[in-house]
Amino acid sequence: MKTKNTDKAIICFMMLMLTISCAKDLYKDDEEGNEGEPPFIYLTYLYPFENEVQNAVAEIVIQTDREISVNDITSEIPYLKFNKSWLLMLTQDDCKHATYCRTWAAINGKPIASSNLSSTTPGALDLYYDAAQLEAGDLPPTAIPSSKTLGSTDGNGNEVRFSITTTLSPESKWMNAKTDVNPGFTKNYYRFYMKSGLIWDNVIEMLNYGTGIAFHDVSAAEVNDPADIRKHYTIAQDSILRRLDGRGCKMLAEPNGNKAYVTAARQYSDIQTMVAQNGTEKLYPFKVTDDLKGKLLHRVFSTPDNLKEIIKSQLQRPHSEREAVHIGVHATDDSWIELLKWVNNNYGKDGDDSVWFPSQEEYYEYNYYRIHGRINIEQVDKNTIKLIVKLPSEKYFYYPSISVNLMGIKKKEIMSVSSNNIVTGLSYGDYNNGLTVNIDCRKHLQDHAEHFVEQYEKDRSNKTKKADALYFTNMLKESPEKIKLLKRVE
């Protein structure tokens, strides 16, 4: 005879089996037979890329102190953003740990995990760090203290830091590795040993500062079979979208000269821009007449010293004849950090300010806007014109920003500039015989700036956090909200 206790036992057993079944499904193996992994728990701040504005229509109203006619104004989108005269890009392959604590850190004025001791001191350790350790101030003894940031300007006095591209390895479990944070512990430095590659927390932090991402190696069983590689692009993209909260990847950095990856990429619509060493098209930015979609662009692997000579050689040519300098690199050491500083000091904000150094994703999008974007100028009244800029987007576009040159008007003639709400960042200034206007339509730019201001408010002794707070706040257009954020920083 069944009793109430028996019924309860049966119910409990059924609930337990249901729980186990659900857990099994949650951790189930993938179709390749790889061991399932636990669900990713997102804890780190990430700019909300998934909700980025698409097909932005920016409207800028310019009022002058004189009568002005649209018939006297001509417009153009320059070949390079901010009217720079040459293009530099860097792609770091193999998802290397050094990409975060050396390359990215140097650009953004963070402590650098120096490689010097490992090469000059017998028995010294080559040490690294992660984002969580940086936040906690738990750094290896080889770390070089914070220095200045590296970048150029927007042509109107605002800093624009260099942006690189990092490749990802989304199918590799080591990207899920946890960080051991233990400030003050010096008995050993195991927690600072080089990991197999970047972990997701490091990638997230880099994305917040403008770093681009790219596919590279995938876990295909047949590495020369485009069909198998394409299948793994889909698996990798799904992992990227989950780990990066909806932020997708649209670039390939060809691994090992394997053209099967390129063939597969051309069959996979998510991938729109690619880079490789051989069988490529050299990029001359001032001669580009199409949107470059599906083009395999050229890059070079070399030493920092040789790259300096390559740069100098290109700069001896007229602007229209300059080839883009696209650098490929794997691990980076202090010599690469010195190269980045050399670029900044000679051609960036501390030099002649001639270089634009974006990720390939950002350059691809900017050129797409230049080719497909549309500019209209309307007469509002005898002293006022309206600039309307349409920026058509495609899948996984995250940089809705543009530079526009207006001939026939100068900064000193302007009485006021206003914009519609789609415009979040805006700067303008004189350029040649006219005006240049930088327009940024990133939807969450103000919230992004506020995040960095809040981070600084938690630790006002941290100079790099103050620099970040000012950097992201200065991206905003003039507004009462911007003024309030700047006051919070100062």
> Count of domains in the chain?
4
pLDDT at position 108: 98
pLDDT at position 1: 45
Same domain, 250 and 351: yes
Percentage of the chain modeled with pLDDT above 70: 90
> How are beta strands 296-298 and 159-161 bridged, if at all?
unpaired
pLDDT at position 43: 55
Same domain, 134 and 244: yes
Same domain, 357 and 387: no
pLDDT at position 325: 98
Same domain, 275 and 406: no
Which of 330, 334, 325 is closest to 356 using CA atoms? 325
Same domain, 158 and 204: yes
| Residue 44 domain-assigned (yes or no) | no
pLDDT tens-digit readout, 405-443: 999 999 999 999 999 999 999 999 999 989 999 999 999
pLDDT tens-digit readout, 101-154: 999 999 999 999 998 754 444 456 899 999 999 999 999 999 999 889 999 999
Same domain, 29 and 124: no
Across all residues in the chain, what is the average pLDDT?
Answer: 91
User: CA 196, CA 173: separation in Å to the nearest integer?
Assistant: 10
Same domain, 320 and 193: yes
Name the domain boundary from 347, 367, 387. Answer: 367
Same domain, 289 and 144: yes
| Residue 254 domain-assigned (yes or no) | yes
CA 251 to chain centre: 12
pLDDT at position 199: 97
Same domain, 397 and 464: no
Helices (H), 257-299: 259-265
Same domain, 13 and 130: no
User: CA 344, CA 203: separation in Å to the nearest integer?
Assistant: 24
Here the CATH number for the domain that contains residue 207 is: 3.20.20.370
Q: Is residue 64 within 8 Å of 414, Cβ to Cβ?
A: yes
| Residue 244 domain-assigned (yes or no) | yes
User: CA 404, CA 389: separation in Å to the nearest integer?
Assistant: 9
Name the domain boundary from 335, 367, 399. Answer: 367
pLDDT at position 27: 27
Domain of 57?
49-77+373-443
Q: Is residue 398 within 8 Å of 52, Cβ to Cβ?
A: yes
| Residue 208: both structure tokens together | 């917040």
Name the domain boundary from 367, 393, 423. Answer: 367
Query: Binning pLDDT at 50, 70 and 90, where does residue 37 land?
Result: very low
Query: Binning pLDDT at 50, 70 and 90, where does residue 490 land?
Result: confident
Percentage of the chain modeled with pLDDT above 90: 88
Which of 311, 347, 170, 330 is closest to 248 using CA atoms? 170
| Residue 311 domain-assigned (yes or no) | yes
Which of 425, 435, 386, 358 is closest to 80 using CA atoms? 358
pLDDT tens-digit readout, 322-380: 999 999 999 999 999 999 999 999 999 999 999 999 999 999 999 999 999 999 999 99
The pTM (predicted TM-score) of the whole model is: 0.90
Residue with tokens 């009022």: 63
pLDDT tens-digit readout, 435-477: 999 999 999 999 999 999 999 999 999 999 999 999 999 999 9
Same domain, 184 and 88: yes
| Stronger pLDDT, 490 or 266, i.e. the higher one | 266
User: CA 113, CA 191: separation in Å to the nearest integer?
Assistant: 13
Same domain, 339 and 264: yes
| Residue 124 domain-assigned (yes or no) | yes
Whether 156 has a pLDDT exceeding 60, the answer reads yes
Whether 19 has a pLDDT exceeding 50, the answer reads no
